[in-house]
Amino acid sequence: MTNKSSESTETHIFSGNIFIFHAFDVGDDINLESIRTSNVVISQPLSLPKYFKNFHMPLAIDLPHPHSSSRFSTCKVHNFGAISFAYKIPFNDTLQNVRATLNELDDIYQEQSVNDVSAVFKKIKKFIAKPKFFQTRSSYLVIQVDPQPDQLDIATLKNQYGGVIASMLRFETETLSEYHKDEILEDAIGYFRGDLIVIDTEATFMYDEEYEELLHLFEFSNIQQLELRYFDRLLDQQLNIIYEGQPHKLPLSAYLPFIGSSGGSMADLGKLRVDISVIVERLEDSIKLVGEAYFSEMYNLLVDKLDLKNWQESIARKLNIIQDVRSVYQNQIDAIREDLLSVLIIILIFIELVIGLLNYMRVGH
């Protein structure tokens, strides 16, 4: 009986799609309206779910021709300096075979996405503020399987294929231990009785036919992670400069009273803090899940699995550290400026005294 069940599990055919999301940070702001009117790329219609607010809607475009992305699904250009891609790869195979090909498939589209973003970047570079190819990247994978309610209910699916699903989400080709399998499957959710969605840190298994609206959440969360990683990396560079004892060098004029600017590095930090706050809040405000309990639960799980809250807390901590260190430097600069001002006042008083004495001596003669 066990052998028959095992044999059936290894030969059972599933159909569905593998969705791979890639996002790249390529600069600061991108002028979407200029891209749209320039005709350097072909724009595509974009329909977002109702839980997305449209005032930060990205620009959907086609890949510049010629291109070799036969599985290309969408490309979106975002005004905060990011470009995102989605690829759709259909399959009709056993879950074991799908699991065996995931690593190779992931590698293929890692390389393909770099080629595709390079082609787009070259076309729109002049519309990007401070363009750079590329600063940070992020990716996520979704395995969508068409339900077979007449053959497999959710309990049977988890019992017979739970090990395969868990190892698939960790990009492992061998079955994980029972502990790790249970740990991955314990947060599984579903809207209808026959649905099953298992979200993990790098991939999600989705046993659901009505998945289109859900895909936007995965793409959006991947872009959020991209921007948080970019800012975290930017702050790491600032911290490395501090740890290596190489603070930002100021010109001599910065120390001179009445001439040097009093803002200095603190002004730069203030601008960076504002930039980070604007981007993070813009992303958070782009999605409104009030009254959407299922989407809200899904998004909260993604936030947890992608560690987005910890990324935000890490950025806040590093900003505070940099602010404390730069405050010390700023206080030193202010002290030097005050000392120079005091010396200047003393010199002026001395000059005035000397002139007074010379005038007195001249009158006396």
Instruction: State the average pLDDT over residues 153-169.
Output: 91
User: Do 75 and 160 lie in a common domain?
Assistant: yes
User: Do 257 and 208 lie in a common domain?
Assistant: no
**Structurally, how many domains does the chain consist of?**
2
Q: Nearest CA to 159 among 288, 43, 8, 58? A: 8
Residue 228 lies in a domain: no
Residue 364 lies in a domain: no
User: Do 177 and 306 lie in a common domain?
Assistant: no
Give the domain extent around 270: 248-359
Tell me whether residue 102 is exposed, middle or buried, using C-beta atoms within 10 angstroms of its C-beta: 0 to 12, 13 to 18, 19 or more: buried
pLDDT, position 104 = 94
- Per-residue pLDDT tens over the stretch 281-337: 767 666 776 667 888 888 889 989 999 888 888 888 888 887 777 776 667 767 777
Q: Nearest CA to 204 among 132, 111, 275, 302? A: 302
| C-beta of residue 267 within 8 angstroms of C-beta of residue 254 | no
When the pLDDT of each residue in the chain is averaged and rounded to a whole number, the result is 83
pLDDT, position 151 = 86
| C-beta of residue 208 within 8 angstroms of C-beta of residue 147 | yes
Residue 349 lies in a domain: yes
Residue 237 lies in a domain: no
Where is pLDDT greater, at 190 or 8? Answer: 190
Query: How does strand 203-207 pair with strand 72-78?
Result: unpaired
User: Do 198 and 332 lie in a common domain?
Assistant: no
User: Do 145 and 104 lie in a common domain?
Assistant: yes
CA-CA distance, 362 to 356, in Å (whole number)?
Answer: 10
Structure tokens at 338: 């005050």
Where is pLDDT greater, at 114 or 318? Answer: 114
pTM of the model: 0.81
